[in-house]
Amino acid sequence: MKRKVTKAIFPVAGMGTRFLPATKSVPKEIMTLVDRPLIQYAIDEARAAGIKEFIFVTSRGKGALEDYFDHSPVLEEELRRKGKDDLLEVLETTNMDSGAIAYIRQHKALGLGHAVWCARRLIASDEPFAVILPDDVIAADRPCLQQMVEAYAETGGNMVAAMEVAPEKASSYGVLDVADDMGSMVKVQGMVEKPKAGEAPSNLAVIGRYILSPTVLKNLNKIKRGAGGEIQLTDAIAKEIDSKRGVYGYRFRGQRFDCGSKSGFLQATVAFGLDREDLRDDLSAYLHDVVNMGKAAE
């Protein structure tokens, strides 16, 4: 029987230089979409998929993340005293059981593969695990990782979230070489991290959700630096292609926002704002006005 996926690694060590000056003192993952930090979206998605243990790979200056997931007795007491039960309920989603969350430091910025490798001692040698990149925020009726866990129950092996991208954008991603296209699932025969322009094997890109065999952690021990001089997770997964486990791409149903870019972050803010009943009317009236003003000026 395939083992259940109950652990997820969240690589959150990046400096977030694209969001300076904000990220000078605020970790990128604490930046807020409407009223919840990016990391909360990732945690909610993981919980919906059955994840029970959360492993954060952090770096210097990420202390706010630890505080965020800690209980806040003074604040909670104050809200209780004022009878603000709705806000207490909101706070509850940020609390973690003791021992459910672990923090590991990545001491050198050697890439995504290296960040995941830093967590190797927390994953058993027969235990599949998930990786979630919180920059990739995915709006979906059924959370993306949950869709993948269900598909993984059929396939086992290794699975990456996949999405068609414009050919000129492919060099920003890990890209799949597809052996067999079964619709929502593809069997992978090659993976290239950040291919040069015109050299991508397809326009099916890897998005930041993975379910991996623990062998990938062993592969990370062996691989050399890849694209950008970094230890790449994509290269360690590609080593699994010829194993009996294999690698699958999963075309998730949902809309992905690249919250590692300013434009993606703004788009996500608008989309999540419009999704909220308490904000929808005001925000869409404002957006109409802005669009109409633009038209009038043309």
Q: Would you tell me which residues interact with ligand G1P (CB under 6 A)?
A: 112, 133, 136, 173-174, 193, 205-208, 233-234, 260
The three-state secondary structure class of 202 is coil
Q: 53: closest CA among 14, 99, 2? A: 99
CB of 159 to ligand G1P, least distance (A): 14
Q: Which is nearer to ligand G1P, 136 or 177 (CB)?
A: 136
**Cβ-contact 114, 105 below 8 angstroms:** no
Q: Which is nearer to ligand G1P, 19 or 79 (CB)?
A: 19
CB of 1 to ligand G1P, least distance (A): 30
The 8-class DSSP code of residue 214 comes to T
CB of 152 to ligand G1P, least distance (A): 19
**Helix ranges restricted to H, the chain:** 38-48, 63-68, 73-81, 85-92, 112-117, 144-155, 215-222, 233-238, 262-274, 277-297
**Cβ-contact 234, 193 below 8 angstroms:** yes
CB of 207 to ligand G1P, least distance (A): 5
Pair of tokens at residue 24: 């000078």
Q: Which residues contact 247 (CB under 8 A, 6 or more apart)?
A: 157, 158, 159, 160, 187, 188, 191, 237, 238, 240, 241
Q: Which is nearer to ligand G1P, 149 or 192 (CB)?
A: 192
CB of 161 to ligand G1P, least distance (A): 9
Q: Which is nearer to ligand G1P, 79 or 200 (CB)?
A: 200
Pair of tokens at residue 298: 């043309």
CB of 253 to ligand G1P, least distance (A): 18
* Degrees to nearest 5, angle at CA 241 with 105 and 14: 20
Q: Which is nearer to ligand G1P, 80 or 196 (CB)?
A: 196
Q: Which is nearer to ligand G1P, 40 or 234 (CB)?
A: 234
Main-chain dihedrals φ then ψ at residue 6, nearest 5 degrees: -125, -5
| Closest chain position to ligand G1P (CB) | 174
